Structure 1
């Protein structure tokens, strides 16, 4: 072995991994706290926020598991560790992956619930999104189950290297990992594209469209991380790789993916706080996050805004305004609203305030 190869083998990847993961963890904690503050401030705290809070807790526990694993030697060469420490490293590596996978799945489910409340009005669209939530739960849970049932008898046989244990081929875990990663990447892409298409069809100023599309399309970054992590899944099929170093890159990208899901899905929810910081007034009465539905009814004499039940599949108004609404902020759906038209009758049309 050359000197360079020996130095590479002896290099401890743990400290750098620890800095990367906890940097992401701290960022996600701050963003989710701001999300909760913003939602409570305007009275819009809901199930999606509870799911996101739970996702953050799971991901943070995963970061803690990784920290313990690094303490025992995760990221170091296996030849430098005792058999007992190697077993503990492998055990905490599996626990790290479990909480990372669970956090990412719940983060996506939270964002889907948020999208359902924000943009989905047609019944079949709602059905598709709820089915997507079900698949997120099932597909990601199955991967976690596979991690711990691949050795017959008990899960500890995975890290105890018992000669009596009969384990599945590592290809099972790797191939399912490819499928799970591809599904999560496709989910991120679908959510970003759906939000983009919906907002792009609305009669909004180009600047407003680009702003809203950018906020709800941030999941593309999570998709990129999911793709890179999926490529790294190949290490799960390798028998001859160092068990205490092989999954360092895989775990890093798993948590980058998970925390990007949490962060990018929460940023749109803190919009009201950012506008308040800029000095734009907002109160619980005139401030709405990206989750309010309204229909505006117009007559020859007066125009009134009334909130409609979310189950009604009709034209609706999505009020995403913060601060006081002005004529420059509101855009109709393109229909003529001349007060002299249809005298004596009222009609509904869509207005988007941003």
Structure 2
């Protein structure tokens, strides 16, 4: 199949493949750290399971891109008809998996934020509404992709032209609606922590770190905007995998960033624990002289020994834990390390 867009040797499939697997690999690493962090503090919750599910859709999406690239994805070259069908089929499946991964990732982050908000807060209602709208808004475009023609074979085979298919404008209009909704959701989820948590009685440095971690979804919002702008490509003639290569490219960037940026706030307890373990010093033993206690007698010899018996870390509320409040999750340890010291004094009388 030769592309009608250009007679030059065009191959954007490799770039899309590299982007897909790079972001998928980064998401796997961040997710693994998230699981370790949550297990370490014994606070593995439902939002963690949902975020793992989001990653579970992103990985096969990257695998579908691999198959599509091998079949000629976004490449201006002559390929067999069966390769053309395989190429378009796995391209559309990969695009759909990205949409579902984004949707599930946002749901997981909304669930995470709801645990930080007081039960009586009206913000919990807003977050619940956004959570319910996510599947309603984001499942529809997946349905439109595979149900756009009465015969599904016409979706993958451009040579089948005697089957009714809905106008492309319908997909475009709904795509812009979906993009606007997801962009608004990302902006709200990023701005909501600033509005809600700025009044917390935390040190300024901790407050800034807290807000930066919870507002990283702005990166996913930018990717969503760019992906929405590229939706016009679905109305271009010729090989859809060439004209829509940038659409798939940004779909993976958005999906990967949703999983990564939504998981980064959960890693802070792990980094705090690593930093404390790295900076902690060995338990010291002190040898004190008799002058320290003011004893000075010719016939008396004193031995004073002081040694540390116990090091106690702060409890789950001092920043090591990951409970249901922003203070518990993101505040630094207030008590730090407590040292318990036992002092033993022994006097021995010397014989005359």
What is the TM-score normalised by the length of structure 1?
0.79
Query: By how many angstroms is 1:198 displaced?
Result: 1.1
Distance 1:235 1:289, change over 3 A: farther
Alignment correspondent of 1:254? 251
Match of 1:319 among 328, 331, 334: 328
Query: By how many angstroms is 1:291 displaced?
Result: 3.8
| Equivalent residues of 1:275, 1:322 under 8 A apart | no
Whether 1:268 and 2:227 are equivalent positions in the alignment is no
Q: Deviations over 1:111-146 (max 9, x none)?
A: 000000012433532222111111111100011111
- 3-state SS in 1 of match to 2:327: strand
- Aligned pairs for 1:169-180 (under 5 A) are 169-180=167-178
Match of 1:160 among 147, 157, 162: 157
- Aligned pairs for 1:296-307 (under 5 A) are none
Match of 1:221 among 206, 219, 242: 219
Alignment correspondent of 1:41? 40
Alignment correspondent of 2:67? 68
Q: Which runs of 5+ in 1 are unaligned?
A: 294-316, 328-354
Query: By how many angstroms is 1:283 displaced?
Result: 7.6
Distance 1:226 1:82, change over 3 A: same
Match of 2:324 among 275, 278, 292: 292
Query: By how many angstroms is 1:322 displaced?
Result: 6.8
Alignment correspondent of 1:349? none
| Equivalent residues of 1:75, 1:248 under 8 A apart | yes
Alpha-carbon distance in 2 for matches of 1:131, 1:219: 19
Alpha-carbon distance in 2 for matches of 1:117, 1:149: 38
- Aligned pairs for 1:138-157 (under 5 A) are 138-152=136-150, 154-157=151-154
Alpha-carbon distance in 2 for matches of 1:65, 1:114: 30
Query: By how many angstroms is 1:86 displaced?
Result: 1.3
Distance 1:188 1:290, change over 3 A: farther
Alignment correspondent of 2:283? none
Query: By how many angstroms is 1:289 displaced?
Result: 4.5
Aligned pair count reads 296
Q: Deviations over 1:6-36 (max 9, x none)?
A: 57x4121122221121111100000001001
Distance 1:217 1:76, change over 3 A: same
Alpha-carbon distance in 2 for matches of 1:200, 1:145: 41
Alpha-carbon distance in 1 for matches of 2:263, 2:9: 40
Match of 1:137 among 135, 152, 157: 135
Query: By how many angstroms is 1:212 displaced?
Result: 0.5
| Equivalent residues of 1:289, 1:322 under 8 A apart | no
Query: By how many angstroms is 1:326 displaced?
Result: 3.4
- 3-state SS in 2 of match to 1:318: helix
| Equivalent residues of 1:66, 1:92 under 8 A apart | yes
Alpha-carbon distance in 2 for matches of 1:13, 1:188: 29
RMSD: 2.1
Alignment correspondent of 2:349? none
- 3-state SS in 2 of match to 1:319: helix
Query: By how many angstroms is 1:48 displaced?
Result: 0.3
Alpha-carbon distance in 2 for matches of 1:291, 1:121: 14
Query: By how many angstroms is 1:290 displaced?
Result: 4.8
Alignment correspondent of 1:336? none
Alpha-carbon distance in 1 for matches of 2:251, 2:65: 12
Alpha-carbon distance in 2 for matches of 1:6, 1:130: 48
Alpha-carbon distance in 2 for matches of 1:67, 1:173: 25
Alignment correspondent of 2:119? 121
| Equivalent residues of 2:214, 2:265 under 8 A apart | yes
Distance 1:284 1:203, change over 3 A: closer
- 3-state SS in 1 of match to 2:228: helix
Q: Which runs of 5+ in 2 are unaligned?
A: 281-312, 337-352
